[in-house]
Amino acid sequence: MNPLPHLQRTGGGAQLIVEGAPFLMLAGEVHNSSSSSLAYMERVWERMAALHCNTALTPISWELIEPTEGEFDFTLVDGLLEGARRHNLRLVPLWFGAFKNGRSTYAPEWVKTNPQRFVHAQSHPGHDVLPLSCFCEETIGADSRAFGALMRHLRKVDAEQQTAIMVQVENEVGLMRAPRDFSAPAERVFAQPVPSSLVDYLSTHTKTLHPALSQIQFDDTPSMTWSDMFGGDANEAFMSWGFGRFVGRVAEAGRTAYPLPHFANAWLVQYEGQPAGEYPNGGPVSRMMDIWRAAAPAIEFLAPDIYIDDFAGVCADYARSGNPLFIPEARRDHTAPAGAFYAIGEHSALGFSPFGIESIGGAIEEAIAGPVADASLGIQTDPSGLLLTRTYRLLSHMAPIIAQHQNKGSMRGILQRSAPDMGLDLGGYRLQVKFPTPLTPGQPPAGGLIIALGEGDYLIAGFGFSVQFHPAPGSPSEVDFLEISEGDYRHGEWLPGRRLNGDEYGVQLGAAPCVRRVRVYEHNPPI
């Protein structure tokens, strides 16, 4: 049997290894309710295969696998594995347990209706709210048992074929509209000093702490309160510890049963200075990443769900201090193709996954989800899905060569922002990337990736930009082309097409994703 899917750390990042080789997830996350019906999933699988996805992110909910406490029904799980296999897709199960988007709507009835045993959060003292408390031991235990049972089942039915390759634990956890949880179990933890394991972690990682935490004052007293240590961030730090511990303990139960990579995803801070509680308070937002790492060592990485405009900024914020970048949710609109190229090229992302993937491509979207699904999310789709299809197709064929350059400093990503051009140094030359069409609302931003195969030797893939080559600053030389070739990648192999010269001389990538092999040299004028 192949070793199980795992993360292999390389050059400050990581690669996902599946069946012994790096695997690039060209993924899509299905709508929340789709995977609760195998019949419904049939059209979803077809749509995903047509989009050239190789991985599906599908919710698996606690209420559906454990409708009665201790009695598990894995029919749906088996059906999802079977459907994915039939369509040549890998699966990333999303565990919708006690927490999903700051709510507890996926907990089974026997949990929801027993608030004495499964304590609810309190948004201020004495005021119970619908979401469960992440500090309640009974809930931690019950969720962990259910998730552990799911992972044991996956091991039993899938360890051979390895259709499931990673797993997300809960979904966008955190508490909405509350400064913190004031329930009895939360109060007990808040009254204690900051746990020594958290203090130890933070004080031994001072060099790599997120700037938001770099102001922490470490006292050598073992009795610091949350306020002593975190000042104005005390409530959010406390909630991050609480949710991090919850997710970490659930993940521990899963990994003990079946050690696939486990990760947690974040609903992001939507604008600078937004108060916690307007976004889920205690979720793994980047400013709280270090607390999460201390609280949840069984979680291998934290992943951003990127719906805000600053895609590149979020990628940089999450691809820090060894956290591998994976984007489990992104807008499925015209920005998705450039986002995929950029995250993979610039940050060696493990993969990219627009949310509501089955809604991409008009006709099927109407047939499956109906236009309401999109209107409610306020998202404009890539109406034909053609750009994403071509992007995924090209990236899937290039995946082996991309893998050779991940985390090595020899690959860069291109993402059109407001400037008309951008400069980058790669392969011994200065590259000037120009965007001939200005960024226009509703139109796809240009995107791509550039790999330096060697000095002056490049693969340039993507759409909507041109590239000019210059010598290092101050050098009197001129740079010219030795080769510009069209071509294609098939399963990692370069198939050259036309050699471009004369009227076609220059590196211009049009509106459809394509790849060029380009070699340049420096001509030194005689002195």
Could you list the residues that contact ligand DGJ (CB under 6 A)? 32, 101, 171-172, 305, 329, 355, 377
Tell me the Ramachandran region of residue 384: left when phi exceeds 0, alpha when psi lies from -120 to 50, beta otherwise.
Answer: alpha
Q: Structure tokens of 435?
A: 């965007």
Our CB check for ligand DGJ shows the closer of 143 and 172 to be 172
Q: Residue 81 CB, nearest distance to ligand DGJ (Å)?
A: 21
Q: Residue 100 CB, nearest distance to ligand DGJ (Å)?
A: 7
Our CB check for ligand DGJ shows the closer of 249 and 332 to be 332
Percentage helix, strand, coil for the chain under 3-state DSSP, each rounded to 5: 35, 30, 35
Read off φ and ψ for residue 23, nearest 5 degrees.
-125, 125
Q: Structure tokens of 77?
A: 């799980």
Q: What is the 3-state secondary structure (H, E, C) of 271-287?
A: CCCCCECCECECCCCHH
Our CB check for ligand DGJ shows the closer of 282 and 456 to be 282
493-499: strand order across its sheet: 411-415, 447-454, 457-463, 514-523, 478-490, 493-499
Our CB check for ligand DGJ shows the closer of 378 and 502 to be 378
Our CB check for ligand DGJ shows the closer of 236 and 329 to be 329
Q: Residue 473 CB, nearest distance to ligand DGJ (Å)?
A: 45
Q: Considering only CA atoms, give the Rg of the chain.
A: 24
Our CB check for ligand DGJ shows the closer of 100 and 390 to be 100
Q: Cα dist. 292→174, 210, 234, 472, 527 in Å?
A: 12, 12, 14, 43, 61
Q: Residue 293 CB, nearest distance to ligand DGJ (Å)?
A: 21
Distance (Å, whole) CA 90 – CA 54: 6
Q: Which residue is nearest to ligand DGJ (CB)?
A: 172
DSSP string, 391-424: HHHHHHHHHHHHHHHTTTT-EEEEE--SSSEEEE
Q: Residue 94 CB, nearest distance to ligand DGJ (Å)?
A: 8
Q: Residue 332 CB, nearest distance to ligand DGJ (Å)?
A: 10
Distance (Å, whole) CA 319 – CA 315: 6
Our CB check for ligand DGJ shows the closer of 61 and 391 to be 61
